[in-house]
Structure 1
Amino acid sequence: MNRELQSMAKIRARVPFKVGVGSKIPAEILSFEGLNSNNEHVAIIFKCVDLKQKTPLVRMHSECLTGDVFYSSRCDCGEQLEETIQKMGEQGGILLYLRQEGRGIGLYNKLDAYKLQSKGMDTYQANNHLGFADDLRSFEDAADMLKALGVKKICLITNNPKKIKEIQEYGIELEDVVGTKVHLKDGNKTYLRAKVYHGQHKLTLE
């Protein structure tokens, strides 16, 4: 990587709607065409941010059906998503919702990994046992989506060094990195520890 990429992505459709608990936060959802992966990623823009006048908050959030929709006890994805929605509802921003479930292994494989985690493996060990690398996600499409929006500099919401490294390699400048809170609950302590000690996520666990 480590190169400037000319994005071929274009905005396909823009639809206003409201999001968040109680669906009270005004936003706009965008679809794209020409993405490298052909995945149906979407961008959600909050408060009609003037993308040319300020450096927007951006979160690249990978789809997690079990966490985002059902608030699974196994992860903190749903809580991170809701934290982001609330923050962007107040400050504006761009949420890139990326269809790459289970760090890229897919939903069914993630459920298989859950079975292995129930037997004592952590999230990375389970994926490796199934024959997958630690993290198969790519953030090239995310960079192309931002470029299609005319965004070249962002404040990135993440605790994940992989996201920081990749988005810069794909030509997006970082003005700042904003961490998310620690969402510790019954069932996800081992998961969070693995993210910290194996994935080098910037989280402070008690």
Structure 2
Amino acid sequence: MTELRARALTWAEVDPARNPFELDDDAAKELVGLVTPLLPDADAAKHERRRSLDPVTGFLVDRYGRWACGWNWSPGEGDIDGGVVGAWCCAAHSVTTADATAPLVVEALLEWRDWLEDLAERFTALAPPVGPDASSADPWHWERACTRLVTVVADRTQADSAWYGHCHQVLEWFLAHSGVDEERAGRIVENAVGGRFDSWVAPDAVVMEAVSSRFARTIGTDQ
């Protein structure tokens, strides 16, 4: 189901400014109680893995919005490859008793939300001063933004299995935040990054410089 795929999320769907969310201690305790009956038992989770958590993900999406489907996007080969949520490993290992697992789900959701809010702040800080067209900005701004965003995503994902998928996504989100339409953003990122990053390897300085330079140049030429 597309609505349950964190890799398909757009910036509009995760942008904290468009998707308000608050969870104080009392609301978090309430959420734990609501999640508990939706959890599979440990044996089912080991065999069904990600599908065993679909009821939880569906509930969170219905309650908070599609951004919430990234709650279990952990680093490495978890339920979904290449994420950032350290509180969760995977259904096969994180699901134990319902009473122990439900608080982990809430912790993971909050960590995912914190990541989205952190990105929003970074995007605002890194966004170049542009006019009606992003290509009018000084390429230096785009190069700097690309380098810093790739670096932080590599760090948060531990540059583990398929980390570059979320890296592509974050760069596309940044462009969307900067006013670039989704289709064009996809072309720009694919042209700059496609095939240049590998699993289990953070990009070195040479690769980073090449990608960031190409990212900036493509923004200036892709219309």
- Is this a same-fold pair by TM over 0.5? no
Q: Which has the higher contact order (CA 8 A, sep 6+)?
A: 1
- Higher-helix-fraction structure: 2
Task: Please report the TM-score for the alignment, with normalisation by the length of structure 2.
Answer: 0.28
Q: Which protein is bigger by CA-based radius of gyration?
A: 2
Structure with bigger strand share is 1
Q: What TM-score results when the alignment is normalised by the length of structure 1?
A: 0.30
